[in-house]
Chains A and B, each alone.
Chain A
Amino acid sequence: MSHYYKRAVKDILENRFQNLVTIITIAFSVLIVSAFTLFFYNAGNIINSWKQGIRIMVYLSDGVTKPQQLDTKYRFAEIPGIQKSRFISKQEALELLKQQLQRQSSLLGNLKENPLPDAFEITLKPSSQNYERLEFIAKRLENLPFVDEVEYGQRWMQGVSAIVNLISITGYAFGSLFLLASVFIVANTIRLVLFSRQEEIRIMKLVGATNRFIKIPFYIEAIIQGIMGSLLGLTFLYVVYLFIGTYFKGGITAKTVNICFLPYDVILVIIISGMGVGMIGGAIALKEFLKS
Chain B
Amino acid sequence: MRIIKDKNAIIRMFHVHKRYGAKQALIDISLDVKKNEFLFVNGPSGAGKSTLLRLLYLGTPVSEGQILVDGINLSRIPQSKIPYLRRKIGIIFQDYKLIHTKTVYENVALVLEAMGKKKVIIDKKVKNVLLTVGMKSRQDALPPTLSGGEQQRVAVARAIVGDPKIILADEPTGSLDSESSRAIMDLLEKYYIRGATIIIATHDKSIIKQTDAKVVELSEGRLLSNTKI
Contact = CB atoms under 8 A, between A and B. Distances in A.
Interface of A: 2-3, 14, 199-200, 203-211, 213
Scoring B91, B97, B114, B119 by chain A CB atoms within 10 A of each residue's CB, the highest score goes to B114
Interface stretch (B69-77, B79-87, B172-180, B183-191): B79-87
A97 B206 CA distance: 115
A200 to B, nearest CB: 5
B48 interface: no
A167 B113 CA distance: 52
B91 A206 contact: yes
Given A204-B110, A204-B114, A210 B99 contact: no
Nearest to B99: A200
A206 B86 contact: yes
A77 to B, nearest CB: 75
A208 B97 contact: no
Contact of A208 (B80, B101, B111): B111
B110 A209 contact: yes
Contact of A207 (B59, B80, B114): B114
Contacts of B115: 208
B162 interface: yes
Nearest to B96: A203
Contacts of A207: 86, 91, 110-111, 114, 158, 162
Interface in B31-53: none
**Which of the four size classes fits the interface of chain B?**
20 to 34
A205 B111 CA distance: 10
Contact of A210 (B57, B83, B98, B119): B83
Contacts of B102: 200
Contacts of B114: 204, 207-210, 213
Nearest to A213: B114
A203 B114 CA distance: 12
A204 B111 CA distance: 8
A116 to B, nearest CB: 85
Scoring B84, B99, B111, B119 by chain A CB atoms within 10 A of each residue's CB, the highest score goes to B99
A33 B57 CA distance: 50
Nearest to A10: B101
Given A3-B113, A210-B114, A213-B114, A205 B83 contact: yes
A203 B99 contact: yes
Contact of A206 (B57, B113, B162): B57
Interface in B169-210: none
A213 B109 CA distance: 14
Nearest to A203: B97
B166 to A, nearest CB: 12
A145 B94 CA distance: 105
B141 to A, nearest CB: 17
A14 B158 CA distance: 25
Scoring A14, A200, A208, A213 by chain B CB atoms within 10 A of each residue's CB, the highest score goes to A208
